[in-house]
Amino acid sequence: MTQFWNSINPFPGQHSTFASNVDAIFYFTFWLSAFFFVAIVGFMIYFVVKYRRIEGQEPETSPSHNTTIEVAWSVIPGFLVLGIFWWGFTGYVDMRSPPSEAYEVNVIASMWQWQFKYPTGAIAKELHIPVKTPVKLIMQSKDVLHSLYIPSFRTKQDVVPGRYSGMWFEATDVGVYNLFCAEYCGQKHSDMITKVVVHPVTAEDATDEVKETFDAWMEVAADPLKGPGGVVIPLEEAGKNIVEIFQCAQCHSIDGSKKVGPSFKGNFGKEVEIAGQGKVLMDENYIRESILEPTAKIRLGYEPKMPSFKGQMKDEWIDAVIAYIKSIQ
């Protein structure tokens, strides 16, 4: 039964403080519309049946104009729609007035992925937020228009290149929800989907779906050298996490195939050809330099396209990345 109800219910669950108001406006408009719709179609069918043409019988004359009625049905709907406007407007003002003490997350949208950066320096591909806490997103786009849309929160805002856009919400329930890109952004627009993970603030509120508290998650996310629960993990594995956070794989494959940059696979400890400098040994120092000063040595056949990660990549993290690259042979 609940399954049946869910499949015809026009909405996903309500999981933000806006959701119940938005749905209330929706249902108010819906029932008002349903009333008018049923009345209009009802009269239409009734007239078609009642006044169908009978051969040889001309219709009795009836007035073709009645100012009172015409003014009434112009003015009354006018007031009704003004009511809808007013309710929609007040709901909108709430959505666009973030409380001053909101938790801030930076969002970077690019074709075709989301990146979320936290005040602690943590970076994630999914949006992790604490439950029952106002969260404010400060959004920017690296390329074209995108739009961040979380149906369960009933909110959406376009991300426009060349400026910051903001939005805020407060999640009411621990859980995992869909996050979509809603503004067409080219080839893989429909793959620009990720999740919002709403974490409990205290351990008692944990659910089977989301067990970690926000702080526990953050401790790990902010420190790629640690695994779940804060345990120390092997350096190679930490390196893998870091490569994932910085999205190195966009340009470097791990299977030997050529992308924008050379593959990580099978190069460590070998001589590599550098444009204008001959052969150079790829060792720990070479990797370190490539991360911090990528243009110093350009591999033959590649373009100097890699950005520097100086100031973003901590020394211990570089150690981990080196260990990871070493391991891919």
Partner 1 sequence: MATDVMPAHSETSRPEDNYLTASKGIMSWLVTLDHKRIGVMYLIGTMTAMFLGGFLALLLRAEHISGTPTFFTHDQYNQLFTLHGAIMVFLFIIPSIPAALGNFILPVMLGAKDVAFPRMNLCSFYLWVIGAIFFICALLTTGLDTGWTFYTPYSTNTSQTNVVLATFGAFILGFSSIFTGLNFIVTIHTMRPPGMTWFRMPLFLWSLYATAIIQVLATPVLGITLLLLAAERMFGLGIFDPKLGGDPVLYQHFFWFYSHPAVYIMILPAMGIISELISTFSRKPIFGYRFIAFSSMAIALLGFLVWGHHMFTSGQSEMVTIIFSVLTFSVSIPSAIKVFNWLATMYKGSIVLATPMCYALSFLFLFTIGGLTGLFLGALATDIHLHDTYFVVAHFHYVMMGGTLVAFIGGLFYWWPKMTGRMYNEFWGQISSLIVFVAFNLTFFPQFVMGSRGMPRRYYNYLPEFQVYHVLSTIGAFLLGFGLLLAAIVLIVSLFKGKKAPANPWGAATLEWQCGSPPPLANFEKTPTVGNPYDMNSVVWDPDTESFIRRGDVPPVTD
What single-letter DSSP state applies at residue 254?
S
CB of 160 to Cu ion, least distance (A): 11
Taking CB under 8 A as the rule, does residue 120 contact partner 1? no
Task: Report CA torsion sign: 98, 11, 83, 182.
Answer: positive
Q: Region of 276 please: left (phi>0), alpha (psi -120 to 50) or beta.
A: left
Taking CB under 5 A as the rule, does residue 179 contact Cu ion? no
* Residue of 15, 128, 146, 154 that binds Cu ion (CB under 5 A): 146
Piece of the chain touching partner 1 by CB under 8 A; list 72-80, 218-226, 258-266, 293-301: 72-80
* Residue of 17, 91, 108, 294 that binds partner 1 (CB under 8 A): 91
Taking CB under 5 A as the rule, does residue 185 contact Cu ion? yes
Q: Report what 136 binds from partner 1, Cu ion, none; CB cut-off 5-8 Å by kind.
A: none
* Residue of 1, 2, 3, 60 that binds partner 1 (CB under 8 A): 60
Pair of tokens at residue 250:
């966009």
Using DSSP's 3-state secondary structure scheme, residue 60 falls into coil
CB of 185 to Cu ion, least distance (A): 3
Taking CB under 8 A as the rule, does residue 93 contact partner 1? yes
Count of beta carbons in the 10 Å neighbourhood of residue 9: 11
Count of beta carbons in the 10 Å neighbourhood of residue 282: 20
Q: Report what 146 binds from Cu ion, partner 1, none; CB cut-off 5-8 Å by kind.
A: Cu ion
Residues 117 and 124: their CA atoms lie apart, in Å, by 7
Which strand (E) or helix (H) includes residue 240? helix 235-245
Q: Report what 52 binds from partner 1, Cu ion, none; CB cut-off 5-8 Å by kind.
A: partner 1
Taking CB under 8 A as the rule, does residue 33 contact partner 1? yes
Q: Give every strand in the sheet of 175-181, ordered side by side.
A: 127-130, 193-199, 175-181, 146-150, 155-159
Q: Which of residues 176-195 bind partner 1 (CB under 8 A)?
A: 178, 180-191, 193
Q: Which is nearer to partner 1, 43 or 283 (CB)?
A: 43
